[in-house]
Structure 1
C-alpha cells in the first residue's frame, strides 16, 4: 500500500507532518512525499530520504496565481500518480489541496483526502477590500470547491473553517469532513521548563500583517514606555506574501529597541524556554502550532478570539483571549501578567495539562488514520 503526501513547502514535511509520516510508516505503508525545491543532493531531500521516504520534486509555486504554472503542476502531479499508483493521496495547504485533489481524481487514486490547515491571505477579507482582493478570494473559493468535490474526506483544524466551507458551499454537502485538533505537538519533545525571573513575552510567526505582528509591536511600545525592563522577543522571517511585513518596519522596531528580533530559528524551544508568556495576535489560524509548542512547555498564552486561536485558550484559565487587531487590548492582557506575576506559572501549568490531554500529536494522528481507514 502506498501513500502520497503533497506539500507546498518542503520544510513543513518534518516540522509539521513528521509524526504523521512515522504513523503511516508504522502502519506498513510505503510513504511518498511530493514538494517543490527538492532536487537531487538537496539537504532537506537527504533528511527525508534518511527517514525511508520516496521523494518527488514537483514544479509547484507556493505563491502567485499563474494559470500556466498551476496547470503545469497539475499535469506533473497526474503523471506522477499514474507512475506511482498510490492507494492514498493527501495534500495540505491551498495549492497541494486543490491541484493534488484534481490530479488524484484524474489519475483515479482510490482514496483522496485533503487537510485544510488554515485559510491564508485570500480569506483574510474585510468590507473595505479592493476589487483585486475580492476577485482573488472568489477565485480561490471556486478552485477549492472544484478540488474538494473530488475528495473522499476533508480534514479541518478548527470548526470555524469547516463551517465557513459549508456555509459558502465550498465543500459540497455530499463530501464528509472531520475536525482534528490541529497538527498536534509531541509533548515528549516539548517539555515544561522553569520560567525566567524577569517578564519576557515572545511571538513566533512568519512576519505577516495577519499574524498580528504590528499589533504586537504596538503593544510592546506601550508597555515599554512605562516598563523598559520588560523584554519582547520576535522569532520569524519575512515571507513571500502580499501581506508581508516590510524590512523597514522590522528595522524600526529593532532600532528603537521595541522588539528583540531573533531571526528564523530551526529549533524554537530555547526561545520558548526563555519567555514567560507566549503571544500570538493572529487574525485567523488553522490551529497555531507555535501556541501548542508553548503550551506543552508550560507557558501561559495570549491569543485572539479568532478561528483556530480561540480553541487553544480557555480564557482566564491558561491565558487570555483578546479581540483581533486591537493593540490596546493586547497591551492590557500583557499588563495583567506584569501586575500579577504568579499568573504566568499557574496558567502555564494548565497549558501543559491541555496540551497533554487535547493536543498530543499521537492522539491527533490516530484520529486521522482511523478516519482514512488505515487503522
Structure 2
C-alpha cells in the first residue's frame, strides 16, 4: 500500500510530518512525498531517502496566483500519481490541498484526504485581499468536494468552511490537536536566571503579530532595559511580509534581538522565559506547542487556533488580536512577578503532554483514515 503526502515547503515534511510518516511506515505503508525544490542530491532529499521515503520533486510556487504556473503544478502532481498509483493521498497547505486533491481525483487515487493547517493570507482582510479570498474559497470548494475527509487543526476553521459552504455536508471532517509535538524531543528545560526573556518564533509576517510584538517590546524595554525580547524567523515571500528595512530599524533601535532562521529552535526556547505569539489566526501554532513542551508560559491571542492552546491564567495569557496595550500588560505580569513564568511553564508542559503529544494526534488521524 502506498501513501502520497504533498507539501508546499519541503522542510515541513521533516519538521512537521516526520512522526506521521514514521507512523505510516510502522503500519506497513510505503510512503511517497512530493514537494518543490527536492532535486537529486539535495541534502534534504538525501535525508528523506535515508528514512525510507520515496521522494518526488514537483513544480509549485507556494505563493502567487499565476494560472499557468498552477496548471503546471496540477499536471506535475497528476503525472506523479499516475506513475506511483498510491492508494492514499493527503495534501496540506493551500496549493497541495487544492491541486493535490484535484490531481488525485483525476488520477483515480481511491482514498483522498486534506489537512487544513491554517487559513493564511487569503482569508484575512478586505479589498484586494478580499477578492483573493473569494477566489481561493471557490478553488477550495471544488477541490474538497473530491476528497473523502478533511482534517482541521481547530474548530473555528472547520465551522468557517461549513458556514461558507466551502465544505458541504456530504464531505466528512475531523478536528485534531494541531500537528502535535514530540514531547520526548522537546524536553522540559529550566528557566534561565535573571530578568524575563521573551521570544517570538515566526515567519516575519504582519499577520503573525510581529509588529505588535515589537511595539510592546519597545515600550517594555524603555521601562525595564534589562528585559530581553528576541525575534527568530525569516522574511517570507508572502505579500504581508515584514520588510528588511523595518527589521533593520527594530534591531538598530534596540527594541529586539534578532536570531534569524534557526534549523533547531530548542536552544532559543531554552534561553527564553516566556513565549509570545500575537498572531491574527492559526491552524494550531506549532511553535507554541514546542514552547509549552519545554515548559514555557505562553502569551497568545484570543484567535482561532491560538486560543485552544492556552487556558487564560493557567499556562499563559490570552490577549485581543492587534492590541499592543493588552500584549504589553500581559508581558509586564511576568516582569513584575518573577515566579509566574515557572508556575505557568510547568502547567504548559502538562498540557503539551496530555493534549498535544504527537503520537496521540497521529493515532487519531490514522484511525480516521482507516489505517490500523
TM score, norm. by length of structure 2: 0.99
What is the CA deviation profile of residues 159-193 of structure 1, one whole-angstrom value per residue up to 9, with x for unaligned ones?
00000000000001100000000000000000111
- 2:359 corresponds, among 362, 366, 373, to 362
CA RMSD of aligned residues (A): 0.6
Gaps of at least 5 residues in structure 1 are none
1:65 aligns to 2:65 (yes or no): yes
Distance in 1, Cα, partners of 2:60 & 2:218: 40
What is the CA deviation profile of residues 97-125 of structure 1, one whole-angstrom value per residue up to 9, with x for unaligned ones?
00000010111101000000000100112
Q: Provide the aligned length of Structure 1 versus Structure 2.
A: 371
- 2:145 corresponds, among 120, 124, 149, to 149
1:180 aligns to 2:209 (yes or no): no
- 2:309 corresponds, among 292, 312, 319, to 312
* Offset at residue 21 of structure 1 (A): 0.5
Q: For residues 20-35 of structure 1, what are the structure 2 equivalents within 5 Å?
A: 20-35=20-35
**Residue in 1 that maps onto 2:89:** 89
What is the CA deviation profile of residues 268-323 of structure 1, one whole-angstrom value per residue up to 9, with x for unaligned ones?
00000000000000000000000000000000000000000000000000000000
Check conservation: 2:123, 2:130, Cα contact below 8 A: no
What is the CA deviation profile of residues 57-99 of structure 1, one whole-angstrom value per residue up to 9, with x for unaligned ones?
1001101101111111111111211111000000000000000
Distance in 1, Cα, partners of 2:265 & 2:80: 35
Distance in 1, Cα, partners of 2:61 & 2:35: 10
1:350 aligns to 2:347 (yes or no): yes
Gaps of at least 5 residues in structure 2 are none
1:12 aligns to 2:9 (yes or no): no
Q: Following superposition, which runs of at least 4 residues in structure 1 exceed 4 angstroms of deviation?
A: none
Q: For residues 1-375 of structure 1, what are the structure 2 equivalents within 5 Å?
A: 1-125=1-125, 129-130=126-127, 132-198=128-194, 199-375=196-372
Distance in 1, Cα, partners of 2:79 & 2:192: 54
* Offset at residue 372 of structure 1 (A): 0.3
SS in 1 for 2:308: coil
Distance in 1, Cα, partners of 2:73 & 2:220: 48
SS in 2 for 1:163: helix
Distance in 2, Cα, partners of 1:108 & 1:238: 39
SS in 2 for 1:45: helix
Distance in 1, Cα, partners of 2:182 & 2:319: 27
SS in 2 for 1:236: strand
Distance in 1, Cα, partners of 2:68 & 2:88: 27
Distance in 2, Cα, partners of 1:238 & 1:145: 31
TM score, norm. by length of structure 1: 0.98
SS in 1 for 2:275: strand
What is the CA deviation profile of residues 216-245 of structure 1, one whole-angstrom value per residue up to 9, with x for unaligned ones?
000001101110110000100000000000
Distance in 1, Cα, partners of 2:154 & 2:73: 29
